[in-house]
Structure 1
Amino acid sequence: MKKLLLAAAIAAVAATALAPSASAAPSPPDPLKWGSCPAAAYPTPDLQCTTLKVPLDYRDPDGRKIDILVSRMPSKHPEKRRGVLLTNPGGPGVAGWDFPQYLTLPGLPAPLPQSVRDAYDVIGFDPRGVGHSTPVTCDLTPEQQAIGNLPYPKDAADVVKQAKVAKAEAEQCANAKTGWMLPHVTTANTARDMDRIREALGESKLSYSGASYGTYLGAVYTTLFPRRSDRIVLDSNLGPDGYDVEAMRGFGRGLEDRFPDFAKFAAAHQEYGLGTTPAQVTAKFFELAARLDRTPVGAFDGGTFRGLNFGYSYGDSSFEALAAAWQSLDKGEVPKLYDEHVAENGFAARFAVVCGDSVWPKSVATYQRNVAVDRIRHPMVGAGAANISACAYWQAPAAEPKVRITGNGPSNVLMVQNQRDPGTPLVNARKLRAAFGDRARMVTVDQGGHGSFVVAPNQCGNNAVTAFLVSGERPAHDAFCAAETP
């Protein structure tokens, strides 16, 4: 899930948005015609693909249409098939059409169980605005993309500098050739696209498995369409307001929840020379960050170093590369790192959803205060997470209020959550759990990293999700999975 995880790292009172009324329903979709899929980084021999037309604006359901690329990995055992399982890998701005095939790769800690593959046609899709669906662009330059989502300010003046960058990005998005799409590239409309996919598949209900941002997308879907929701799995959970300003600031808490796992790893591998105890490794973090602020090594200053630690904390498999990077920087050498390119469209689509879903503070002074607070409260990366972004200057607000997640609907949601998740910290998952009330149960897993089901090895957590998807068995109460020795 490296693509999902790194893409995620780069980067108003809510009112209930109602599902379109029957009188506003679009005409039935055309029958799907399955064919071959685009080229992919992962082998896709079991996948079939098609394109579905959906309304740009569901308030004008028979108006302008956009394309959604949909994929299907059919069950090979029709006698065991119970429905469809739509998937989303997170983001926003991440393509998902090849995600069903990715979930079956043998290199994963616990690939999608055969029992789940037998029970469902596993469905993927590129969300509106992303990839092979009608894409958006902001004409972002490589230099703008390199800034990412965590530009670390050393002081209040740096926030003013970032504000100029953020304003330019927002203006580029509004003035780009796809600016007309931006008010409609929202989580609520993507959820409506999901229901359109369900209808085109000829299914009365939809089961769902979404990770990271995909948890908020799933929460919005099952809020808008509670009676069309079958079994809903939410893995690595955002809070009930999605990626708003507080969720972004939550990255500061997330890295501090997670960092002790890396500190323990580095202390146990003294060949890297980063310290013999977790406390020494932690002290080394701040010493290196301060030194790089004074004397950068290549493109690595203290802010870049902090962002590197956030991105490489998403999975234990990145710890060796992160420790080696520290070792190189400590010697004044540019580290050799894997570089997973994120297309400009991914950044643009992320802006569209994150900025369009929520009302963001407009005042530079507000961000300066947030930066000052989070620099103290979460000193590792908090100032970067609280910095200003294009959302402060967004010129394409969503055409409707944000969906408010509630407990209205059937009790059919299973949340699974790592205790030490840098991208979607446990504290925010608990807020989503509270918003769902009795609709949900949450399984908390004593492990670190971003992603629990399939991408992490805890058998207790994986078994809980599998049992729910296959048999509908769900814990009677919230549950806890103890750490397991690899």
Structure 2
Amino acid sequence: MVGMTHRTRRALVLALSVSAAATTLTAVTGPTASASPALDWRPCAQPGGPAGQECAELPVPLDYRDPDGPQLTLAVSRLRSERPEARRGTLLVIPGGPGGSGVRRLTQQGNALSRELGGAYDIVSLDPRGVGGSTRARCQLPADDRNLVALRSWPAPDGGIAENVARSRRTAEACATNGGAVLRSLTTANEVRDIDRFRQALGEERLSAHGVSYGTYVGAVYAQKYPERTDRWVLDSLDDPDPRRVARRWLANSAQGAEDRFPDFAAWAADPARETEDLRLAEKPEDVRPLFLSLADELDRAPRTTTTEGVPLTGNRLRQAMQTALYNDASFDDLALLIRQARDPKAMPVLTPDVAGPMSDEDAAVTMAVVCNDVRWPASVAAHERAVAADRARYPLTAGMPVNITPCSFWKNRPVEKPTRITDEGPSNILLVQNRRDPATPYVGALKMRAALDDRARLVSVERGGHGVYLNTGNECGNDAVTTFLRTGQRPERDISC
């Protein structure tokens, strides 16, 4: 979730870029997997982040089937409790993505978490393999193939997918040609193993956790694999855990997510308060959707020159900017401004960062590699053509992209492990929190996770839009439910709405 803003990185939760080669990677020596490595902590405070933040490197096996073989390095971070008398354990922050940095997330949210939790935990996180300060991988993709509107397979204006098929083939081929063992190791299963390795290095018998977005799937798999090592487990903004489809289902669900969430933007954009900001798009909320769809169609036919040289505003760039903006109310003004500029013949549109330039090759690699390595994707071009046509009619906001073909359909490194089935077997120590109008992990998918966990979990449904609940939406009821659980262990007796 490239030199990207935090908002852009979050928007890459389901982005389909591709996987990576180990050309910049070398195996590092370190302790064998049979011994818990010592963590050499050092100060690493960043401007605006927690003053007491510390960082270290954690060696993990490249391949857990060869635990004493080549090792990778993971960047890990912690913020120790300043109230030893109140400390009850360690809370792991599990980042989203695939591709989200836990170290960066701790920098951004550590102070808020520490205040809210009253020193009850040392708060820790890590950059998963392939991310941030951890061992990286590359595919050596050309810049044009690393743009978000390319990594996400937006169909042509007429609904055709020939260009998507060609790009997906060459991307998968580039990853097979330039990839290596590190690329093949980028999986959810290995992230879960790495987390348990981190737990051992911390000297903790059990961990508590707050996982967000893709991190909820990682957290659910950890709780399934190592139930006895979980303490208080919070999963926030939930992915459907269907083991047959995994990320393919998450991407497909985003079409419904955009439909659920867009009315929030429409109401905002039609509010008379936008007049003073010169951002009001219509007098009535119901007029914003047809305005947006009409403008996207116009830009399909006649893209607009922008302030970014060589990068026009196309219909698909507008659609992608919309999908990104729906993550957070604070981004609505960016989308409204872009729409106003695109409708003004005298204006030159200024692209939002997510659609203005390419991701780094390393970020593209991990984002695609995890989802392609986790589960096999169907390869039939004809089946994808039919799915795109149906989805464009049913969900015009996303124009068929969520069910389109991706490099995973042509992936050379076939999955070596079956995805974990999430079940109700294990301790009842999980709290689920979910916005009802989440554009990235929509409520329909969250209910699938709830059903899979059954009595192991309780669900707090928040009557808000956007992606991410705890300390993010300003919903006091939702925040209190999570804080109370993490501080006291008390959950609602049954599922509740906030």
Note the C-alpha offset of 1:45: 2.8
Range moving further from structure 2, 147-156 or 197-206: 147-156
Note the C-alpha offset of 1:478: 0.6
Aligned to 1:162: 164
State the Cα deviation string for residues 158-216 of structure 1 (Å, max 9, x = none): 3121111111111112222x422223211011011001100000000011111111111
Aligned to 1:84: 90
The 2-side partners of 1:385 and 1:265 are apart by 25
Report if aligned partners of 2:237, 2:435 keep a CA contact under 8 Å in 1: yes
Aligned to 2:381: 364
What's the secondary structure of 1:87's corresponding residue? strand
The 2-side partners of 1:384 and 1:136 are apart by 26
Aligned to 1:202: 203
The 2-side partners of 1:9 and 1:329 are apart by 27
Report if aligned partners of 2:15, 2:367 keep a CA contact under 8 Å in 1: no
Note the C-alpha offset of 1:379: 1.1
Aligned to 2:76: 70
Note the C-alpha offset of 1:344: 2.3
Pick closer, same or farther for the CA change 1:124–1:283 going to 2, 3 Å: same
Aligned to 2:154: 152
Q: Out of 336, 340, 350, which is 1:327 matched to?
A: 340
What's the secondary structure of 1:103's corresponding residue? helix
State the Cα deviation string for residues 63-109 of structure 1 (Å, max 9, x = none): 2211111101100111111111111231101221122221146xxxx
Range moving further from structure 2, 149-158 or 415-424: 149-158
Report if aligned partners of 2:374, 2:417 keep a CA contact under 8 Å in 1: no
What's the secondary structure of 1:43's corresponding residue? coil
The correspondence of residues 240-259 of structure 1 with structure 2, limited to 5 A, is 240-241=241-242, 243-259=246-262
Aligned to 2:291: 284
The 1-side partners of 2:437 and 2:159 are apart by 33
State the Cα deviation string for residues 405-460 of structure 1 (Å, max 9, x = none): 11110001111000100000000000011011111111000000011101110000
Q: Out of 38, 46, 50, which is 1:31 matched to?
A: 38
Q: Out of 304, 307, 314, which is 2:327 matched to?
A: 314
The 2-side partners of 1:468 and 1:407 are apart by 20
Aligned to 1:18: none
The 2-side partners of 1:273 and 1:100 are apart by 36
Pick closer, same or farther for the CA change 1:94–1:343 going to 2, 3 Å: farther
Note the C-alpha offset of 1:347: 1.3
What's the secondary structure of 2:377's corresponding residue? coil
Note the C-alpha offset of 1:139: 1.3
1:6 aligns with 2:11: yes
Note the C-alpha offset of 1:112: 2.1
The 2-side partners of 1:338 and 1:372 are apart by 28
1:339 aligns with 2:353: yes
Q: Out of 107, 123, 128, which is 1:101 matched to?
A: 107
The correspondence of residues 89-238 of structure 1 with structure 2, limited to 5 A, is 89-104=95-110, 111-112=112-113, 114-116=115-117, 118-146=119-147, 147-154=149-156, 158-176=160-178, 178-238=179-239
Pick closer, same or farther for the CA change 1:287–1:157 going to 2, 3 Å: closer
The 2-side partners of 1:408 and 1:139 are apart by 43
The 1-side partners of 2:169 and 2:13 are apart by 22
The 1-side partners of 2:174 and 2:124 are apart by 34
Q: TM-score with structure 2 length normalisation?
A: 0.89
What's the secondary structure of 2:113's corresponding residue? coil
Aligned to 1:408: 425
Aligned to 2:28: none
What's the secondary structure of 2:93's corresponding residue? strand
Aligned to 2:263: 260
Report if aligned partners of 2:8, 2:324 keep a CA contact under 8 Å in 1: no
The 2-side partners of 1:149 and 1:117 are apart by 41
Q: Which amino acid aligns with 2:175?
A: C
Report if aligned partners of 1:81, 1:118 keep a CA contact under 8 Å in 2: yes
Pick closer, same or farther for the CA change 1:156–1:189 going to 2, 3 Å: farther
Report if aligned partners of 1:156, 1:368 keep a CA contact under 8 Å in 2: no
What's the secondary structure of 2:289's corresponding residue? helix
The 2-side partners of 1:469 and 1:425 are apart by 24
Q: Out of 379, 385, 392, which is 2:402 matched to?
A: 385
The 1-side partners of 2:90 and 2:251 are apart by 32
Aligned to 1:17: none
Pick closer, same or farther for the CA change 1:4–1:157 going to 2, 3 Å: closer
Report if aligned partners of 2:172, 2:410 keep a CA contact under 8 Å in 1: yes
Give the superposed CA RMSD: 1.9
Report if aligned partners of 2:279, 2:333 keep a CA contact under 8 Å in 1: no
Q: Which amino acid aligns with 1:375?
A: R
Unaligned runs of 5+ residues in structure 2 are 1-5, 17-31, 306-311
What's the secondary structure of 1:49's corresponding residue? strand
Report if aligned partners of 2:153, 2:406 keep a CA contact under 8 Å in 1: no
The 2-side partners of 1:82 and 1:3 are apart by 35
The 1-side partners of 2:421 and 2:102 are apart by 25
Q: Which amino acid aligns with 1:250?
A: N
The correspondence of residues 441-480 of structure 1 with structure 2, limited to 5 A, is 441-480=458-497
The 2-side partners of 1:274 and 1:346 are apart by 35
Pick closer, same or farther for the CA change 1:415–1:148 going to 2, 3 Å: farther
- Quick one: percent identity of the two aligned structures? 41
Q: Out of 416, 427, 447, which is 1:399 matched to?
A: 416
What's the secondary structure of 2:76's corresponding residue? strand
Aligned to 1:108: none
What's the secondary structure of 1:445's corresponding residue? strand
Report if aligned partners of 2:212, 2:468 keep a CA contact under 8 Å in 1: yes
Note the C-alpha offset of 1:10: 4.3
Report if aligned partners of 1:127, 1:190 keep a CA contact under 8 Å in 2: yes
What's the secondary structure of 1:466's corresponding residue? helix
**How many residues are matched?**
461
Range moving further from structure 2, 53-62 or 242-251: 242-251
The 1-side partners of 2:125 and 2:376 are apart by 29
Pick closer, same or farther for the CA change 1:360–1:318 going to 2, 3 Å: same
State the Cα deviation string for residues 1-50 of structure 1 (Å, max 9, x = none): 52542332644xxxxxxxxxxxxx9302221111143x867535321111
Q: Which amino acid aligns with 1:266?
A: A
State the Cα deviation string for residues 339-360 of structure 1 (Å, max 9, x = none): 2674321110011101111110
What's the secondary structure of 1:231's corresponding residue? strand
